[in-house]
């Protein structure tokens, strides 16, 4: 299903939609709700998509090693959440003030941590149609 250009565009649109909606939630929940706009959320959704591609390139050697050693599912459920935590941290930093040092790492407060965990869930949910079409848990492709 996701092998051709149409499937790839559908996959990207799904991710972008999920990321934009979750960014809007973040703008309303973590920032000033009166300044939350769908335009700002879409910009962050695009940013999150690009960040995912960038980190995908960075972690590709680890993913390739995981595939080669037969541990891609382990990588997907252990290492990838950490990667996604940092990806959502970058988006979080565009919403919340005072996001430096340990605040960047720990999520600033319980609300920020919960929002990042929700972002990780959104990232995994956006992978679900691809995983289902490919027969289940990841077995060679990792998307951030």
> 10-48: per-residue pLDDT in tens?
989 999 999 999 999 999 999 888 889 999 999 999 999
Which of 5-14, 50-59, 103-112 holds the top average pLDDT? 50-59
What pLDDT is attached to residue 23? 97
- Mean pLDDT, to the nearest integer, of 72-87? 90
pTM for this structure?
0.86
Show me where the domains of the chain are located.
Answer: 5-133
Q: 3-class DSSP state for residue 104?
A: helix
Distance CA 112, CA 30 (A): 7
What pLDDT is attached to residue 3? 65
Helix (H) and strand (E) counts for the chain? Answer: 5, 0
């Amino acid at each position: 299903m996701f092998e051709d250009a149409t499937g790839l565009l559908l996959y990207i649109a799904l991710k972008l939609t999920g990321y934009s909606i979750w960014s809007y939630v973040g703008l309303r929940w973590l920032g000033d709700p009166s300044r939350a706009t769908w335009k700002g959320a879409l910009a962050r959704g695009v940013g999150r998509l690009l960040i995912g591609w960038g980190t995908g390139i960075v972690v590709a050697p680890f993913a390739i090693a995981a595939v080669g050693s037969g541990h891609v599912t382990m990588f997907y459920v252990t290492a990838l959440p950490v990667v996604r935590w940092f990806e959502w941290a970058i988006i979080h930093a565009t919403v919340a003030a005072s996001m430096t040092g340990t605040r960047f790492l720990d999520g600033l407060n319980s609300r920020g941590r919960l929002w990042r965990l929700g972002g990780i869930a959104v990232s995994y949910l956006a992978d679900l149609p691809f995983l289902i079409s490919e027969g289940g848990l990841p077995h060679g492709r990792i998307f951030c």
